[in-house]
Structure formats: structure tokens, C-alpha cells
Amino acid sequence: MSDAEEKPGPESDSELEREIRKGRKLTMAEALGRLAGPGAMKGESPVTRFQQAETEIASWLEKHLVDAGGALQVVLHRQIKESELLLNNFDEPLVVLADFCKQVLNSDFLLEELVRNADTEWAQVMGERPYFDKVGTPSHPDDPYQLESVRNKLSALLEQLSGG
């Protein structure tokens, strides 16, 4: 056999490609990929650096935040994703997380808002009524997110982030 018989030519390659594509639908991702051409994303991640930072924060919180209900983790991640801190410094996501925790701990209003949002998230997930802290009254014993417990969790996060 000669080399010409063993190696299909460019015409047979394109015909084979047409045959393969004939039986399937064209997706938007594939169309964009074809439009960009081969090697368009060579060396680049299809995930933006901002999304990578969000994912790193979510992953870190999942591993380090003690949160049986899971709502505090969800709310923290959501608020950080929407913050100016992350938008302005997404190259250092754990620094952003530490700065966010400091910001919340230094403001009674922000801490109360975080606790209220965690209570609301927990209630929606559990299908129950939320227990909100009220000034001057003791916290409900079944409330998983109270001001002091959330303050302690954020302080513990900061300690872990600082390496202590």
C-alpha cells in the first residue's frame, strides 16, 4: 500500500466532519467556537478571573465555616459576590473575604443585616418561620443564627484567614 491510500486527504476529512455534524444539532457554544476559530482561547481559561475568585471564596467557606444550617455560608457568599470589595480586588479573593468579615464585624448594622438574611435563608430552605433577634429580648432557643453566634463564626473565619 502506498502512503496516498493510507492517509485520507483534506477532502475526506471535511466530508467525515460533515457526516458527523449531520446527525446532531448545533449549539450556541459550538457556533461561537467555530466563529472564533481554532485556538481562539489557547492559554486562556473560559472562566473569568472574577468567577474564579467567587468559586475560591465559596470553596474556602465550605471547608472552613462551621454552619450546620448552611444558610450563613450561602448569604455570606452572595453578599461578597455582590460587594465592591470583590469587584475591586478579585485577584486576592481570600483577602476580600477577610476584609468583608472585618467590615461586618465593625458595624452592628451590617452584622444585624447578615444575621437577618441568614435567618430568612434558613427559614426558606427549611420551610419554617424565621426567628429574628429583637433588641432587649433574649434570642429564641431554636434560632440557628443569633448575633453573638454569627459574630463568633466571623471572628473564627478571620482567625483562620490570618493563619492563627
pLDDT in tens, 113-162: 998 998 888 788 777 777 666 666 666 667 777 888 899 999 999 999 88
Task: Quick: pLDDT tens for 2-21.
Answer: 555 555 566 677 777 777 77
d(CA 31, CA 23): 16
Q: Are residues 154 and 83 in the same domain?
A: yes
pLDDT, residue 35, reads: 67
Residues 27 and 72 in one domain: no
Is the pLDDT assigned to residue 107 strictly greater than 90? yes
Looking at the fold, whether 22 and 65 belong to one and the same domain comes out as no
Q: What is the pLDDT of residue 48?
A: 82
Q: Which domain holds residue 94?
A: 49-161
The answer on 128 and 76 residing in a single domain is yes
Asked if the structure places residue 155 within a domain, the reply is: yes
Q: Cα separation of 3 and 122, whole Å?
A: 68
Query: Residue 128 domain-assigned?
Result: yes
Q: Are residues 16 and 96 in the same domain?
A: no
d(CA 120, CA 133): 12
Residue 50: the pLDDT is: 83
- Indicate whether 53 and 78 sit together in one domain: yes
How much is the pTM? Answer: 0.66
